[in-house]
Amino acid sequence: MNNIIKLVWLIPVLPLIGFLINGLGRKALSKTLSGYIGSAVVLGSFVLSFLVFLQVKNGASATVHFFNFIDLSTFKIAFDFKIDQLSTLFLLIITGVGFLIHVYSTAYMHDEEGMNFAKYFAYLNLFVFSMLLLVMGGNFVIMFIGWEGVGLCSYLLIGYWYRNTNYTDAANKAFIMNRIGDLGFLLALFWLISKLGTVQYDDIFTTASLAKLSAKDITGITLLLFVGATGKSAQIPLFTWLPDAMAGPTPVSALIHAATMVTAGIYMIARSNALFSLAHQTQTIISIVGLATALLAASIAIKQNDIKKVLAYSTVSQLGFMFVALGTGNYVAAVFHVLTHAFFKALMFLGSGSVIHAMGGEQDIRKMGGLHKHMKITSITFLIGCLAISGIPGFSGFFSKDEILAGAYGHSTLLYSITLFAALLTAFYMFRLYIITFTGKFRGTHDQEHHLHESPKAMTIPLIILGILSVIGGYVGVPEVLGGHHELAAYLSPVVKSAEHHLSHNTEFMLMGLSTILVVISISFAWARFRNYSIEGEAKGLGSLLENKWYVDEIYQKIILNPLKSISAFFNNIIESKLIDGAVNGVGKMINYGSRQLRWLQSGQVGGYVLLMVIGMLILFFIQLFL
């Protein structure tokens, strides 16, 4: 045990080393070498993580102290790593999926020139490093370091093709929206510090210190933390950056914007479950926001035509599900869904990457179709992903989603039914995507058709592995009702204490059955609708509303950005130059004016001078003798 724990520092440091090698030596390294290095370090981390996992799965946990980051005698922030079941699970996801995506990238990014290629891997490694810091941090500050770090890497990677202004716009948007969330996180952090004087998980999540917090404190802190989570995990109102973030290379979307970074919010709330369980109002808000996001994103996804956009909105929607789970206190379900989602969403993103690769960069599904013939592995693995996300029994998504639904049902029937509806939409749009892309006739140009080919091994192997994982990933959490033991729940139990739902087995069966049947119906509907897809005209009414993403971006532009700009312009043009500078210069002008006026007193005539002197005397005499 101890030996491995002593080595945990290597887990983040390895990717950091990879980053430094790739970053500093990007001119010297060949593409192959930097690809190897980039992947190898992550693999190394994965191996270590796995070793750690072997240790902690028996219930052990540890806080590893390195040095004091900040030490004021009254207040300390330690540089600590917290190694427990939750963090280890995330370690595995990050390094595991991360490794696969690194491998995939070596092939996907092959067209980039050498320096940029190395830069790409450097960024990717830096991302892994930050994400590892985020989950391993032993206190909120270290988590925050990772938290902002992943935001930065996301920014860098979205803007990877920096010549395109739209892409860099998207990158800025992502960073800024994340920062808004970060502010919430920070404020929560300050609140905690001012109340408890510490940021250490081990000190905060004890009954004794939680008791020190008033109800108002708890609500406030959890709400602010949740604001942080909405930023990172793309929930209403801060979700719009995620679809735009698809500007980055596809593997990046897979890793950052599907599997890992966006789940940071869930991780954080799961990590603080002790706190959130005490805040019922916050929980309600979380579930409402989650649900609304799930619905909204799902509805938008129906009408999107960019393959990655659909996946992006689906991610937002799935994250919404996870928040519903968090809101209902069902932390294990949320984490479970993170796990399965990481598999199938990464799979689908990589699959879409494979498609895009084959299509020579084309992302519009309307110009695809019938790709199944040309790229079987991609198609099949993508289908597995779709099945998994739709919650077809047997696939991983089924188990996790079902758990969320069960939790929602335990909470309220209304919540359950809306969540279910969102799940049905998921199935619908995913299959819409699949059907339009992979079945039917090819609708692209001849050139494209000619070049269609299955992707190289470095891409397909990760697809296959993820495909397998998307199937079997769910079996770590088979619920009791299906004869399982829910190993995940047991594994996480030292850290995460979910709310208990006492649903009878019958009810659970009934729910599963209902959702399965409805999902199948939904899929069939999609099949019926898009089997013979041809390019549609302008959508109208609701359709156009959906196609334009409910005009959320435009609304933000109207109610936030434009006023901000006008205020800034007002500050700049009126207050700064007229009022403040005007006042300062005005004093100068006044003096100048006074100077010009006072000069007339100096008339040059003795009589005038004497007269003024006499008047001066008069005033002085008057003051002295009569006042």
Residues in 151-170 that interact with other proteins by CB under 8 A:
152, 155, 159, 162-163, 165, 168-169
Q: Which of 206, 413, 557, 568 touches other proteins (CB under 8 A)?
A: 568
The smaller minimum CB distance to other proteins, of residues 275 and 326, is found at: 275
Q: How many residues does the chain have?
A: 627
The answer to whether 176 contacts other proteins (rule: CB under 8 A) is yes
Q: Is 49 exposed, middle or buried (0-12, 13-18, 19+ CB in 10 A)?
A: buried
Structure tokens at 250: 């596809």
Q: Pick the stretch among 80-88, 380-388, 488-496, 591-599 that binds other proteins (CB under 8 A).
A: 591-599
Range list of H helices, 368-504: 376-390, 396-411, 413-438, 446-451, 457-472, 487-492
Q: Pick the stretch among 97-105, 360-368, 547-555, 589-597 that binds other proteins (CB under 8 A).
A: 589-597
Q: Pick the stretch among 297-305, 320-328, 440-448, 569-577 that binds other proteins (CB under 8 A).
A: 569-577
75-83 and 62-72 strand pairing = antiparallel
The answer to whether 615 contacts other proteins (rule: CB under 8 A) is yes
Q: Which of residues 74-93 bind other proteins (CB under 8 A)?
A: 74-75
Q: Which of 528, 539, 542, 584 touches other proteins (CB under 8 A)?
A: 584
Whole-number minimum distance, CB 579 to other proteins, in Å?
Answer: 8
Q: Which of residues 309-348 bind other proteins (CB under 8 A)?
A: none
Q: Are 124 and 31 in contact (CB under 8 A)?
A: no
Q: Are 355 and 307 in contact (CB under 8 A)?
A: yes
Q: What is the DSSP letter of 26?
A: T
Q: Pick the stretch among 247-255, 392-400, 487-495, 601-609 that binds other proteins (CB under 8 A).
A: 601-609
The answer to whether 535 contacts other proteins (rule: CB under 8 A) is no
Q: Which of 413, 445, 524, 592 touches other proteins (CB under 8 A)?
A: 592
Whole-number minimum distance, CB 136 to other proteins, in Å?
Answer: 14
Q: Pick the stretch among 91-99, 351-359, 498-506, 587-595 that binds other proteins (CB under 8 A).
A: 587-595
The answer to whether 138 contacts other proteins (rule: CB under 8 A) is no
Whole-number minimum distance, CB 499 to other proteins, in Å?
Answer: 29
The answer to whether 574 contacts other proteins (rule: CB under 8 A) is no
Q: How far is CA 389 from CA 122, 261, 528, in A?
A: 31, 19, 20
Q: Are 9 and 98 in contact (CB under 8 A)?
A: no
Question: How far apart are the C-alpha atoms of 56 and 176, rounded to whole Å?
Answer: 37
Q: Which of 20, 33, 115, 546 touches other proteins (CB under 8 A)?
A: 115
Mention every residue, 6+ apart, whose C-beta is less than 8 A from residue 399: 336, 340, 474, 475, 477, 478, 479
SS3 sequence of 481-540:
HHCCCCHHHHHHCCCCCCCCCCCCHHHHHHHHHHHHHHHHHHHHHHHHHHCCCCCCCCCC
Phi-psi region at 65: left, alpha or beta (left = phi > 0; alpha = psi -120 to 50): beta
Q: Are 227 and 260 in contact (CB under 8 A)?
A: no
Whole-number minimum distance, CB 110 to other proteins, in Å?
Answer: 21
The smaller minimum CB distance to other proteins, of residues 539 and 615, is found at: 615
Rg (CA), the chain: 30
Whole-number minimum distance, CB 139 to other proteins, in Å?
Answer: 12
The smaller minimum CB distance to other proteins, of residues 180 and 520, is found at: 180
Q: Which of 10, 13, 33, 187 touches other proteins (CB under 8 A)?
A: 187
Q: Are 375 and 355 in contact (CB under 8 A)?
A: yes
Helix 376-390 × helix 457-472 angle, to 10°: 30
The answer to whether 551 contacts other proteins (rule: CB under 8 A) is no
The smaller minimum CB distance to other proteins, of residues 167 and 438, is found at: 167
Kindly provide the b/e burial profile for residues 393-411, where b requires at least 16 CB atoms within 10 angstroms of the residue's own CB. Answer: bebbbbbbbbbbbbbbbbb
Whole-number minimum distance, CB 71 to other proteins, in Å?
Answer: 6
The answer to whether 211 contacts other proteins (rule: CB under 8 A) is no
Whole-number minimum distance, CB 410 to other proteins, in Å?
Answer: 35
Positive or negative, the CA dihedral 468, 470, 475, 480 is: negative
Q: Which of 175, 344, 382, 491 touches other proteins (CB under 8 A)?
A: 175
The answer to whether 219 contacts other proteins (rule: CB under 8 A) is no
The answer to whether 208 contacts other proteins (rule: CB under 8 A) is no
Structure tokens at 401: 């989603």
Q: Which of 179, 366, 367, 497 touches other proteins (CB under 8 A)?
A: 179
Q: Are 530 and 438 in contact (CB under 8 A)?
A: no
Q: Which of 54, 70, 414, 528 touches other proteins (CB under 8 A)?
A: 70
Q: Pick the stretch among 171-179, 206-214, 332-340, 375-383 that binds other proteins (CB under 8 A).
A: 171-179
Count residues near other proteins (CB under 8 A): 88
Whole-number minimum distance, CB 283 to other proteins, in Å?
Answer: 22
Q: Are 405 and 360 in contact (CB under 8 A)?
A: no
The answer to whether 571 contacts other proteins (rule: CB under 8 A) is yes
Q: Which of 9, 36, 50, 69 touches other proteins (CB under 8 A)?
A: 69
Whole-number minimum distance, CB 609 to other proteins, in Å?
Answer: 4
Q: Which of 78, 89, 157, 186 touches other proteins (CB under 8 A)?
A: 186
Nearest to 299 by CA among 280, 279, 316, 324: 316
Mention every residue, 6+ apart, whose C-beta is less than 8 A from residue 100: 346, 350, 462, 465, 466
Q: Pick the stretch among 144-152, 279-287, 325-333, 551-559 that binds other proteins (CB under 8 A).
A: 144-152
Q: Which of 84, 182, 244, 508 touches other proteins (CB under 8 A)?
A: 182
Question: How far apart are the C-alpha atoms of 159 and 249, rounded to whole Å?
Answer: 9
The smaller minimum CB distance to other proteins, of residues 20 and 499, is found at: 20
Structure tokens at 484: 């399982």
The smaller minimum CB distance to other proteins, of residues 190 and 509, is found at: 190
Positive or negative, the CA dihedral 26, 28, 34, 38 is: negative
Structure tokens at 283: 């929980």
The smaller minimum CB distance to other proteins, of residues 199 and 408, is found at: 199
* Residue 1 three-state SS: coil
